[in-house]
Amino acid sequence: MNNRRTFIKNLGAAAGMAAFAPELFASEPQKLWFQISLAEWSLHKAILNEKKLTNLDFPVVARKEFGIGIVEYVNQMFKDKAKDTAYLNDLLTRCKDNDVKNHLIMIDGEGGLAETDATVRNKAVDNHKKWVECAKYLGCKTIRVNSFGRGTAEEVAKAAVDGLGKLGEFAAPVGINVIVENHGGYSSDGQWLSNVMKQVNMKNVGTLPDFGNFCIKRSSGGEWGGSCTEEYDRYKGVKELMAFAKGVSAKTNDFDEKGNEAKMDYARLLKIVKDAGFKGIIGIEYEGNVTSEYDGIKATKKLLERVGAMV
């Protein structure tokens, strides 16, 4: 009887405390099944166009402005610094001071690894080697490359297998992954890129499924520019590429009044990612024009946290 009275008394006291100090009884935030990183392209206007930030500021801003401790660089932001150890040491110091982990470097402008001209393709492979070494120096695990090339789908696929294979062989001994994003042209065809991966068949060569880049043909005739005239099914494409994924790019452009991506079903996309057994890093890549870069990044983070907890 005394035990029962004590229990009721304690229960009443707890209820009173909860009423006056609910924060003491708030549940812990649900731990996600993936980690969130920030892709530097999300701030490309601030860095490249407005010159408000530099690449050295990026890890600091990621941590202080957005509470994100994993970053993905874009080589365009420090394209002449791949071998500049003084610069890289400065960057590493800023990462250490802000408890930021370097995840990958996205490589552009170094040539297509699927060019059908062997001389051009081999030059592209050589151009990428310094970024493999840079990634290793910065403590990254991965570089993202492009499988661009001119020719028929079969010709470019054959060239991609060769180019990716050669770069993969160079990167393997230093523990760096080489991953391809669906990034325009044939690479935005999920079946085409997954078939290339099957033929390369290397542990350190994989994919970076991007939720948004599934335009196969453009009015410009190139990977970028003009309007999209043919688009691959994004949900089919993400599912095909997840079999080889060593990262995921959470692309966003615009949001509705509920905070959802306006043209993508994030619940469906994240379910595909989770069903593939992925438990790695998903990178925020905001690319919209309506919302500012800072607000777009924050909105994407909230979207990932909210939907990720429900999937």
- Residue 27: CB atoms within 10 A of its CB come to 5
CATH H-level, domain 35-310: superfamily: Divalent-metal-dependent TIM barrel enzymes (3.20.20.150)
Q: List residues bridging with 71 in a β-sheet.
A: 38, 102
Average pLDDT over residues 156-177: 98
What residue has token string 């994924």?
245
Amino acid identity, residue 254? Answer: D
What pLDDT score does 30 carry?
Answer: 64
| pLDDT tens digit sequence for 140-153 | 999 999 999 999 99
Average pLDDT over residues 176-205: 96
143: closest CA among 244, 247, 47?
247
What pLDDT score does 222 carry?
Answer: 73
What pLDDT score does 218 carry?
Answer: 80
Q: Is pLDDT at 27 greater than 60 in this prediction? A: no
Average pLDDT over residues 233-258: 98
Q: Cβ(287)–Cβ(253) under 8 Å?
A: yes
What pLDDT score does 216 carry?
Answer: 87
User: What is the percent of the chain where pLDDT is above 90?
Assistant: 84
Q: Is pLDDT at 211 greater than 70 in this prediction? A: yes
Band of the pLDDT at 3, cuts 50, 70, 90?
A: low
Q: List residues bridging with 74 in a β-sheet.
A: 106
102-112 burial by CB neighbour count: b if 16+ within 10 A, else e? bbbbbbeebbb
- Domain residue extents for the chain: 35-310
Average pLDDT over residues 175-193: 96
What pLDDT score does 23 carry?
Answer: 43
Q: Is pLDDT at 28 greater than 60 in this prediction? A: no
